[in-house]
Amino acid sequence: MKPNIHDVAKIAGVSSTTVSRVLNNRGYISEKTKEKVYRAMEEINYFPNDLARSLFRKRTNLIGLIIPNSSNPFFGELAFHIESICTSMGYKLLLCNSLHRKDKEEKYLEMLIRNQVDGVIAVTYNRGILNYHKQNLPIVAIDHYLSDSIPVVGSDNYDGGKKAAELLIEKECRHIVHINGPIELTTPANLRRKAYEDVMHKHGRQPITYEVPFYQDYHDIISTLFDEQPDTDGIFSSDDIMAAAVMTEAKKRGKDIPNQLKVIGYDGTETVQSILPELTTIQQPIELISKTAIEILAKEIEGEFDDIPPETYLPVRLLEGRTT
Amino acid sequence: MKPNIHDVAKIAGVSSTTVSRVLNNRGYISEKTKEKVYRAMEEINYFPNDLARSLFRKRTNLIGLIIPNSSNPFFGELAFHIESICTSMGYKLLLCNSLHRKDKEEKYLEMLIRNQVDGVIAVTYNRGILNYHKQNLPIVAIDHYLSDSIPVVGSDNYDGGKKAAELLIEKECRHIVHINGPIELTTPANLRRKAYEDVMHKHGRQPITYEVPFYQDYHDIISTLFDEQPDTDGIFSSDDIMAAAVMTEAKKRGKDIPNQLKVIGYDGTETVQSILPELTTIQQPIELISKTAIEILAKEIEGEFDDIPPETYLPVRLLEGRTT
DNA sequence: CTGAAAGCGCTTACAG
DNA sequence: CTGAAAGCGCTTACAG
């Protein structure tokens, strides 16, 4: 069996209280005793059981991360940064892929509660998460409004949408179309659309937005867009994956990018940038978003609710490639 | 404070033993008592503390996943599938991004041990993990030999390399070059290289492999390859990301793909396929690899070591795009 | 069918 | 500077 603190105590010839003190570097312990205890721990290859510690302390240093899907480059990178930062702060990360499904989100949340996580970082549109907030579990949301009391962190979506739309106008596109996710979602990402529409109106243009519902194949919608809007010479896609699909469809139809059609995406993940460096896009500061979200969550965990901003929007950056 | 089993017992008017029995559906309990207990749990919003349960049972249902980096599409998808399958089997996943760094791998492993994980799935080249195996912690490795006693699961790398090399030969490439990771790594992925070399020799060709060490920018190496091997008309890259970089470099140099240069990658992740559908590649069965690895790990956890194959190689598939 | 007691592996007042 | 005792929130023989 795995050795426990009593085994260490026996070998070191002290009480388990003393071993615990050495472990936690707490109270006065003579150097000699410390030595003995360390030697004993090493001898039997002892590692403290964090379950027992957490049970007593009512603190697990466990954080739950609920994202739709770590396969997606944006979420994959978000998960990477969040995990890295958590680790550097002494937190451990429980990964949950909800696939945007409400039932899964709820089950995951219950699992996280049962596992006594100290807090949850959620990228989810499911306001059902609210019900759990009553348990006063610290939560921070990324790019989604979950409730008035849950802080949100994200990129400056309005500015990103504005930058994208303005670039296409600047590049003298005449017929600019926008592709976005479902509008019902209460996500700040809708601000990308709002900004696009505002810019269009400001320039006396008619905004046209194609919506991609969840679970629907965006290829069909992009194909429809090309059919219905043959004059399109500028497309602002609210994410890079769809922008790539637009590029593929344009190539298929013999439309030259950027001469006949200019394309700009959103996210600017390392992955997409490395695979498709020509894609112009609005880059989200994923690492900064991660860092900010964790810092806010850490404050909630420590009970410092005073200086937590309800919404934090981090600056985006225009990455100009050759598609515009 | 969070309610515990005694709070439930008090409200239901029974002992905590009975509540526990209801919770675990164990032994005989009258329907009436069950009802009362369930009602009480609901009334105070009770969720059992899995920490306490796990402490007693010496079983956490926690699995640790160590991957280099969830930002990479292959590992992001692997993490997604592993997490999904774990969840469907009642396991929870602790995510660790090692960045291929030995010190990080060791720290993560210690963390996982302290947290009493039931098992570990590792994608790491660090044989240092061996030291921990003494703790008889169930481990399964993906695509890397860690030790004789640690089962390995991966794609059929030899067949993949063979398929790739043969395709280029079939397509009448005269000068075929291979790009691979560092050869020192004791990974079955070296079989991709071996297969390439075998196929080349079989056809009386001279194999040429460019190695990309960790942490080195592969762009430089690709650029060097183009400089040093100007006649190259076929490149087999051992991963899709580098294949994409080859495509970018070719475009920069005005080399037409596939007419002047044919490119084939490896991995065939959903992400790369959706962004770069034209890329010909060898697709790894990521979901199947995940499933197999978890099943093997589950057997180790249950102590059924008999029918665990030391090595499992799952079939790959050639996805032909327009780059060959 | 139900409950009191012991124990999982720790930590922390408390006492000395 | 060190130890005995109680307790974190559960579960499981054991007894009735």
Q: pLDDT per residue over A105-120, tens digit each?
A: 989 999 999 999 999 9
pLDDT of A184:
66
DSSP character for B278? Answer: T
A319 within domain boundaries: no
> Would an 8 Å CB–CB cutoff place A136 in contact with chain B?
no
CA distance B68 to B142: 12
Of B163, B173, B119, B61, give the one whose Cα is nearest residue B308: B119
Same domain, A24 and A106: no
What values do phi and psi take at A205, rounded to 5?
A: -105, 165
Which residues from A are below 8 Å from B4, CB to CB?
none
B148 within domain boundaries: yes
Burial (CB < 10 A; 0-12, 13-18, 19+), residue B63, is buried
Choice among A224-233, A280-289, B137-146 with the minimum mean pLDDT: B137-146
Same domain, A13 and A29: yes
pLDDT of B202:
95
Q: Which residue has the higher pLDDT, B180 or A28?
A: B180
Radius of gyration of chain B (CA): 25
Closest chain B C-alpha to A204 CA, distance in angstroms: 34
With a cut of 70, say whether residue A49 has pLDDT above it: yes
User: What's the mean pLDDT in B60-83?
Assistant: 97
CA distance B91 to B220: 42
A320 within domain boundaries: no
Which residues from A are below 8 Å from B277, CB to CB?
248
Same domain, B161 and B280: yes
Q: Which two tokens stand for residue B184?
A: 């020192």
A175 contacts: CB under 8 Å, gap ≥ 6:
A229, A231, A232, A233, A234
User: What's the mean pLDDT in B279-291?
Assistant: 98
What is the 3 state secondary structure string of chain A?
Answer: CCCCHHHHHHHHCCCHHHHHHHHHCCCCCCHHHHHHHHHHHHHCCCCCCHHHHHHHHCCCCEEEEEECCCCCHHHHHHHHHHHHHHHHCCCEEEEEECCCCHHHHHHHHHHHHHCCCCEEEECCCCCCHHHHHCCCCCEEEECCCCCCCCCEEEECHHHHHHHHHHHHHHCCCCCEEEEECCCCCCCCCHHHHHHHHHHHHHCCCCCEEEECCCCCCHHHHHHHHHHHCCCCCEEEECCHHHHHHHHHHHHHCCCCCCCCCEEEEEECCHHHHHHCCCCEEEECCHHHHHHHHHHHHHHHHHCCCCCCCCEEEECCEEECCCCC
Same domain, A274 and A292: no
Q: Which residue has the higher pLDDT, B111 or A146?
A: B111
B54 within domain boundaries: no
Residues 51-70 of chain B in contact with strand D via CB under 7 angstroms: 52-53, 55-57
What's the CA–C1' distance between B57 and C7, in Å? 11
Chains A and B form CB pairs within 8 A to the count of: 143
pLDDT of B126:
65
Nucleotide nearest to A31 (CA to C1'): D1
pLDDT of B184:
65
Place of tokens 């994980």: B117
DSSP character for B146? Answer: -
pLDDT of A167:
97
Q: Which residue has the higher pLDDT, B133 or A129?
A: A129
A318 within domain boundaries: no
Structural contact between residues B228 and B244, judged by C-beta atoms closer than 8 angstroms? no
User: How many residues are given for chain A?
Assistant: 324
> Would an 8 Å CB–CB cutoff place A319 in contact with chain B?
no
The answer to whether A4 CB sits below 7 Å from nucleic acid chain C is yes
With a cut of 90, say whether residue A153 has pLDDT above it: yes
Q: Which two tokens stand for residue B205?
A: 């060709």
Query: Cβ–Cβ of A114/B48 closer than 8 Å?
Result: yes
B322 within domain boundaries: no
DSSP character for B58? Answer: T
CA distance B244 to B221: 14
CA distance A94 to A112: 8
User: What's the mean pLDDT in A130-155?
Assistant: 82
With a cut of 80, say whether residue A290 has pLDDT above it: yes
Please give the C-alpha separations between residue B320 and each of A27, A227, A274, B166, in angstroms, as whole numbers.
67, 28, 22, 13
pLDDT of A126:
65
Same domain, B182 and B258: yes
- According to DSSP, the β-strands at A139-142 and A119-122 are parallel
In 3-state terms, what secondary structure has residue B261?
coil
With a cut of 80, say whether residue B119 has pLDDT above it: yes
Domain count, chain B: 3
Strands lying side by side in the sheet with A234-237: A208-211, A176-180, A234-237, A262-267, A280-283, A317-319
Structural contact between residues A264 and A246, judged by C-beta atoms closer than 8 angstroms? no
A323 within domain boundaries: no
The model's confidence at residue A136, banded by pLDDT at 50, 70 and 90, is: confident
Round the average pLDDT of chain B to a whole number and report it.
Answer: 91
Q: Which range has the top average pLDDT, A151-160, B22-31, B210-219? A: A151-160
Q: pLDDT per residue over B152-177, tens digit each?
A: 999 999 999 999 999 999 999 999 99
Same domain, A270 and A169: yes
Query: Cβ–Cβ of B276/A276 closer than 8 Å?
Result: yes
A322 within domain boundaries: no
Q: pLDDT per residue over B220-277, tens digit each?
A: 999 999 999 999 999 999 999 999 999 999 999 999 999 999 999 999 999 999 999 9
Same domain, B219 and B109: no
pLDDT of B190:
85
CATH for A162: 3.40.50.2300
Q: Which two tokens stand for residue B26?
A: 């164990």
Please give the C-alpha separations between residue B77 and each of A213, B74, B285, in angstroms, as whole numbers.
22, 5, 11
The answer to whether A58 CB sits below 7 Å from nucleic acid chain D is yes
A170 contacts: CB under 8 Å, gap ≥ 6:
none
> Would an 8 Å CB–CB cutoff place A3 in contact with chain B?
no
CA distance A100 to A69: 8
CA distance A82 to A100: 19
Same domain, B278 and B252: yes
Same domain, B195 and B266: yes
CA distance B15 to B28: 14
Following DSSP, what letter does each residue of B73-126 receive, concatenated? HHHHHHHHHHHHHHHHTT-EEEEEE-TT-HHHHHHHHHHHHHTT-SEEEE----
Q: Which two tokens stand for residue B290?
A: 């995940």
Round the average pLDDT of chain A to a whole number and report it.
Answer: 91
CA distance B85 to A76: 17
With a cut of 60, say whether residue A133 has pLDDT above it: no
pLDDT of A127:
65
Same domain, B274 and B179: yes
With a cut of 90, say whether residue A283 has pLDDT above it: yes
Handedness of CA B23, B24, B27, B28 (dihedral sign): positive
The model's confidence at residue B33, banded by pLDDT at 50, 70 and 90, is: confident
pLDDT of B307:
87
Q: pLDDT per residue over A203-219, tens digit each?
A: 999 999 999 887 778 89
A39 contacts: CB under 8 Å, gap ≥ 6:
A12
CATH for B36: 1.10.260.40
Burial (CB < 10 A; 0-12, 13-18, 19+), residue A57, is exposed
With a cut of 60, say whether residue B125 has pLDDT above it: yes
Of A45, A80, A83, give the one whose Cα is nearest residue A269: A80
First CA to last CA distance, chain A: 64
CA distance A265 to A121: 25
Long-range contacts made by residues A125-128, C-beta under 8 angstroms, separation at least 24? A125/A100, A125/A185, A125/A186, A125/A187, A126/A98, A126/A102, A127/A186, A128/A102
CA distance B5 to B15: 9
Same domain, A181 and A138: no
With a cut of 70, say whether residue B135 has pLDDT above it: no
The model's confidence at residue B26, banded by pLDDT at 50, 70 and 90, is: confident
Q: pLDDT per residue over B96-109, tens digit each?
A: 999 988 889 989 99
Q: Which of A4, A5, A45, A51 to mutate to test the interface with B (most CBs of B within 10 A)?
A: A51
Residue A33: which domain range?
Answer: 5-48
> Would an 8 Å CB–CB cutoff place B136 in contact with chain A?
no
Same domain, A144 and A161: no
